[in-house]
């Protein structure tokens, strides 16, 4: 076995040009497919991170039925939930929210808005709202003021220290009305939220909507995204059927479907790339087999058994694939690491389109391990399948014809 491996290794370097051509086709195939996969997975990670960190969190707890009918009457009793909320390993922060729609008014300008009652400090640890303040200041815990999106402020001609009037319907149909000073204006990455969201302290929101100690959701962040399924199961088991516990995938099912659809189209593109690579390798192996036909005939004629020759030639093909794959991965890692640290900025219409969707105008990259070993395994399997060709060629070889070739 050791002698066969040594012989196969020496054989592939007898013709360095041929070996380098074959290894180069595999090398560039691994690099290109890794680059494509990294860019694709990086985009998905950015979308998920933006959605999770900006609004939904990894897990939310609601009153049962709230997600299907998002009205303030389906709120949960926070005082009761606090006593039942278990201490689960992996949860980093949980923040309360009370959401409801209202009519915002300033002088003769009115607009429908979404009012979100938050715990300012906890919310900031999740969504970093304080870093988006463009004018004024961020809310403090217990603050009686509000902050709102820049597009909404521009439409309503609202400035810092102006007073905003909110009219709505509160818990169980109670009339809700109040005047609130504008503490700050924030620039939301999502144009839709920038046009319609007003934030206030959760206790202030509960007073406005006559919903003391009631919440629409409890938003939970976790230390490791891989722990979400476990934490969700534990929460659901300990809180009981009175509450619904949903993870970010359930709350963003449309995004997951879009990612799955885009990933499927990416598989088709990579499939085309793999086929091109496979034909490049196959062409090199065919050339190698044809050039060495007389050599194979001489070896069999002097007494070498065909199955041993087949084994050596198959080992040569495997080694060619191994060299190409290893060098391809070795080159991909620093390249993708650089682009992960320095994502490609988008400009022009592409940047505007991405920003309208609420995402940062960059082309991010990912370094998750499957990006590398999936490419390596796929191309290595192609190489093994192509290695069948010289084996079959040797098994069917007529020694007399091979010696005259």
pLDDT digits (tens, 9 = 90+) for 163-200: 999 999 988 888 899 999 999 999 877 777 788 899 99
Q: Looking at residue 402, what is its pLDDT?
A: 67
Contact between 58 and 232 (Cβ < 8 Å): no
CA terminus-to-terminus distance, the chain: 30
Q: Looking at residue 15, what is its pLDDT?
A: 76
Copy the structure tokens of residue 181.
């000073």
Q: Comparing 303 with 77, which gets the higher pLDDT?
A: 77
In whole angstroms, give the CA distance from residue 24 to residue 323. Answer: 9
Confidence category of residue 257, pLDDT binned at 50, 70, 90: confident
Q: Looking at residue 382, what is its pLDDT?
A: 82
Alpha-carbon distances of 376 from 51, 321, 322, 332, 373, rounded to whole Å: 32, 9, 9, 11, 5
Query: What is the CB neighbour count within 10 angstroms for residue 243?
Result: 20
Q: Looking at residue 215, what is its pLDDT?
A: 92
Q: What is the pTM of this model?
A: 0.72
Q: Looking at residue 396, what is its pLDDT?
A: 79
Mean pLDDT of 395-404: 74
- pLDDT tens string 354-364: 666 666 778 88
Confidence category of residue 146, pLDDT binned at 50, 70, 90: very high
- List, as one string, the DSSP characters of 201-243: EHHHHHHHTT-TTEESEEEEEES-GGGHHHHHHHHHHHH-TTE
Q: Comparing 271 with 201, which gets the higher pLDDT?
A: 201
Q: Looking at residue 299, what is its pLDDT?
A: 75
Lowest mean pLDDT segment, chosen from 4-8, 107-111, 277-281: 4-8
DSSP-based three-state secondary structure for 103: strand
- List, as one string, the DSSP characters of 111-149: EEEEEEEE-HHHHHHHH-GGGGEEEE----TT-S-EEEE
Confidence category of residue 117, pLDDT binned at 50, 70, 90: very high
Confidence category of residue 204, pLDDT binned at 50, 70, 90: very high
SS (HEC) of 276-321: HHHHHHHHHHHHHHHHCHHHHHHHHHCCCCHHHHHHHHHHHHHHHH
Copy the structure tokens of residue 272.
């085309």
In whole angstroms, give the CA distance from residue 286 to residue 313. Answer: 12
Q: Which of 216, 234, 214 is nearest to 86 (CA)?
A: 234
Mean pLDDT of 259-286: 79
- List, as one string, the DSSP characters of 1-16: -HHHHHHHHHHHTTSH
Query: What is the CB neighbour count within 10 angstroms for residue 370?
Result: 11
In whole angstroms, give the CA distance from residue 163 to residue 203. Answer: 19
Q: Comparing 310 with 405, which gets the higher pLDDT?
A: 310
Q: Which of 74, 62, 99 is nearest to 245 (CA)?
A: 62
């Amino acid at each position: 076995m050791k002698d066969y491996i040594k012989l196969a290794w020496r054989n592939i370097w007898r013709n360095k040009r041929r070996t380098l051509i074959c290894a180069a086709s595999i090398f560039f195939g691994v690099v290109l497919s890794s680059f494509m996969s990294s860019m694709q997975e990086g985009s998905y990670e950015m979308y998920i991170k933006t959605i999770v960190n900006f609004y939904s969190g990894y897990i939310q707890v609601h009153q049962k039925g709230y997600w299907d009918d998002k009205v303030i009457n389906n709120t949960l009793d926070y005082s009761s939930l606090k006593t039942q909320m278990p201490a689960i390993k992996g949860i980093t922060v949980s923040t309360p929210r009370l959401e409801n729609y209202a009519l915002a008014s300033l002088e003769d300008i009115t607009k429908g808005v979404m009012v979100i009652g938050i715990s300012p400090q906890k919310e900031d640890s999740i969504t970093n709202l304080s870093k988006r303040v463009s004018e004024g200041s961020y809310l403090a815990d217990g603050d009686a003021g509000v902050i709102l999106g820049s597009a909404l402020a521009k439409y309503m001609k609202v400035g810092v220290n102006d007073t905003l009037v909110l009219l709505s319907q509160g818990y169980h149909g109670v009339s809700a009305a109040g005047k609130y000073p504008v503490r700050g204006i924030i620039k939301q990455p999502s144009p839709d939220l920038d046009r319609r969201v007003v934030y206030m302290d959760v206790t202030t929101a509960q007073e406005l909507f006559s919903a003391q100690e009631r919440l629409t959701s409890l938003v939970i962040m976790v230390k490791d995204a891989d722990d979400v399924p476990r934490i969700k199961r534990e929460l659901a088991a300990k809180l009981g059927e009175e509450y619904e516990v949903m993870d970010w995938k359930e709350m963003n099912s449309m995004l997951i479907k879009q990612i799955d659809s885009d990933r499927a189209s990416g598989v088709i593109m990579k499939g085309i790339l793999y086929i091109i690579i496979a034909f490049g390798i196959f062409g090199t192996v065919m050339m190698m087999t044809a050039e060495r036909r007389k050599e194979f005939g001489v070896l069999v004629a002097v007494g070498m058994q065909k199955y041993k020759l087949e084994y050596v030639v198959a080992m040569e093909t495997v080694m060619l694939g191994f060299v190409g794959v290893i060098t391809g991965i070795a080159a991909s890692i620093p390249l993708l690491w650089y682009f992960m640290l320095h994502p490609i900025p988008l400009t022009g219409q592409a940047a505007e389109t991405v920003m309208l969707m609420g995402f940062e105008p960059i082309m991010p990259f990912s370094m998750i391990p499957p990006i590398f070993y999936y490419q390596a395994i796929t191309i290595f399997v192609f190489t093994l399948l192509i290695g069948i060709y010289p084996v079959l060629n040797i098994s069917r070889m007529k020694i007399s014809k091979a010696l005259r070739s």
